[in-house]
């Protein structure tokens, strides 16, 4: 079976970071995506809100660099969750996305028009999460108590393309 979701949008809230008993990071937030379309000559827009979850190092990176309103592209898999509401006793359910790859679309200065681009992937971890940071060549160079330095964000300058969304056929 094939289960892949790609979303581009803005975070609707700051990231909530917590850790599992095994020490693995779990970060939760939501993304808002919108679609503009025309019906009978009237321009309309619909917005879709989707909960997203990061695991491992990518959750820590997302928590460090992303805030409410940050523009992001996420790739992941759709997950169906079910539970019983404690207050009403009714069954509840929702779909959410488990993030496997993310691209931060805001530039460092906060100006999306500058074309900032940053990518992190969770491929290969046991839970579908975990950013594999480059490992130092010699593991004994730094003392065990030293605090790791912040992750340097790669930045690529992509050209700005002016496209009218009404001209896109999908």
- pLDDT value, residue 117: 44
User: What pLDDT score does 119 carry?
Assistant: 56
Q: Across residues 135-159, what is the average pLDDT?
A: 47
Domain boundaries, the chain: 5-165
Task: Compare 112 and 71 and report the one with higher pLDDT.
Answer: 71
Compare 114 and 78 and report the one with higher pLDDT: 78
pLDDT at 125: 45
* pLDDT tens-digit readout, 5-48: 999 999 999 999 999 999 999 999 999 999 999 999 999 999 99
- Average pLDDT value for residue range 87-106: 93
pLDDT for residue 38: 92
Domain 5-165 -> CATH class: mainly beta
Task: Provide the pLDDT confidence category of residue 106 given band limits of 50, 70 and 90.
Answer: confident
Give start and end residues of each alpha helix (H) in the chain.
57-65
Q: How far from chain centre, in Å, is Cα 4?
A: 14
Evaluate if pTM is beyond 0.75: no
Please report, for residues 123, 135, 144, 151, the alpha-carbon distance to residue 139 in angstroms, rounded to integers and kept in the order given.
24, 8, 9, 18
């Amino acid at each position: 079976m094939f289960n892949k979701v790609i979303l581009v949008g803005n975070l609707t809230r700051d990231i909530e970071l917590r850790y599992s008993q095994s020490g693995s990071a779990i970060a939760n937030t939501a993304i808002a995506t919108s679609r503009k379309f025309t019906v009978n000559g009237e321009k309309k827009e619909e917005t879709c809100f989707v909960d997203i979850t990061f695991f491992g190092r990518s959750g820590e990176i997302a928590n460090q660099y992303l805030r409410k309103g940050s523009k992001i592209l996420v790739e992941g898999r759709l997950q169906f969750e079910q539970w019983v509401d404690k207050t009403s006793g009714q069954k509840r359910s929702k779909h959410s996305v488990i993030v496997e790859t993310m691209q931060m679309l805001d530039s460092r200065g906060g100006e999306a028009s500058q074309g900032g681009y940053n990518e992190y992937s969770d491929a290969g971890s046991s839970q579908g999460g975990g950013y594999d940071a480059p490992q130092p060549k010699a593991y004994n160079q730094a003392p065990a108590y030293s605090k790791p330095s912040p992750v340097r964000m790669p930045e690529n300058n992509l050209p700005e393309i002016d496209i009218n969304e009404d001209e896109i056929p999908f």
